[in-house]
Structure 1
Amino acid sequence: MERVKEEVLQAERAVLYTLGFDLNITHPYQNLIDWLNKEKLLTDLPHESPFKPLVQNAWNLVNDSLRTTLCLQFPPPKLAGAALWMADLMNVEDGTHYSRLTRMGEFYEAFQLHPQELSSICDQMLSEYEHSKLSRLAAGAGQPLPAVKADVEARLGPSRMAAAGAAAAPGGPGPAGVAVKAEEEEGEVKD
């Protein structure tokens, strides 16, 4: 037991050294809230506004990004920006795309984001949804995950963002193959 205890202490020390003893973690929520306040999307927004889903989906995407390793790879403003960008792409109601990201230069600057980073973050977020959804389908069908993935891709086509055209800029209709519905999580923004 003493040997195991010592190994755990050594592993803890290695983690602390790797983190540089910096245990003050900042989350992307504040960056998201700041941008939503600047755009007046948290206040003065009528209940029937087409931008309500944008706010909710951006919040859900930030929540869900914390289930991945993205928070270790990218700083909080970049994660908030990617979540907002994806939520903006998903903000379609009755065939009309409602976008708040018309000035992409300002958007990239506000979130300290480059297009390549945006693409990388979005790919990883989408793969998390793809893996999660496919895992549930596989468990429900009692089939192995690769078989379910092959069946879904045979019926719907590849669901990866790169295959759908990740370079589409907000303000347009968005990639045709990106059909992600952010899952509701505890701690989300509500009406």
Structure 2
Amino acid sequence: MTPLRDRADFIRRNTRVLPVPQVPEIRLHLADDATELWQKTEADLGLLDLPPPFWAFAWAGGQALARYLVDRPEAVRGARVLDFASGSGLVAIAAARAGALAVEAADIDAFALDAIAMNAALNGVAVAPRGDDLVGRDEGWDVVLAADIFYERDTAGAVTAWLAGLAARGARVLVGDPGRSYFDAARFESLAAYDVPVMRSLEDADVKRSGVWRFRR
């Protein structure tokens, strides 16, 4: 695995610290172009078969969910929170800002874990990065947050089933999604919707209508 100091240096050199469009209270290390960054990650660090650099962008669903938490801190205040597939850590940071008792941010990409730590420090909040695959596990979280995770059929099915189980035992499960292909909206109820500014190179649009959802009771 690439040493942490190399990953952190790479993130600093290839991103800019910018406010998140929908949540300008939060700043992140953000990149300008996904393909270029992906290629540079492999070329500069000599690594192959890396996942896309999801950690370097503020995705539409995450922006919507983060905005919801900042505006409605009672959703996470005093709670033990897991942000699943955290990417940049945006949603986890929003939960910490909103007064969560403890926040974990899970992602299986090592670069994401470093980005989460750097972005949390940038925003002056405590977030604990976790690199293990938590699907199917229940560690007693009060609130589980997930955004922009319904891209692929198999992954979406497994994650939806896992989240449904957590919700059934009493966890508050909140999802941010802009209408990804495998989001099963029939199983959720809408809590809020936002017109989120996004990068056209990522979404083929300048603004993406994005919702915050919870499982139907």
TM-score by length of 2: 0.30
Question: RCO greater where, 1 or 2, for CA within 8 Å and sep 6 or more?
Answer: 1
Instruction: Flag the structure with higher helix content.
Output: 1
Task: Flag the structure with larger Rg.
Answer: 1
Instruction: Flag the structure with higher strand content.
Output: 2
TM-score by length of 1: 0.33
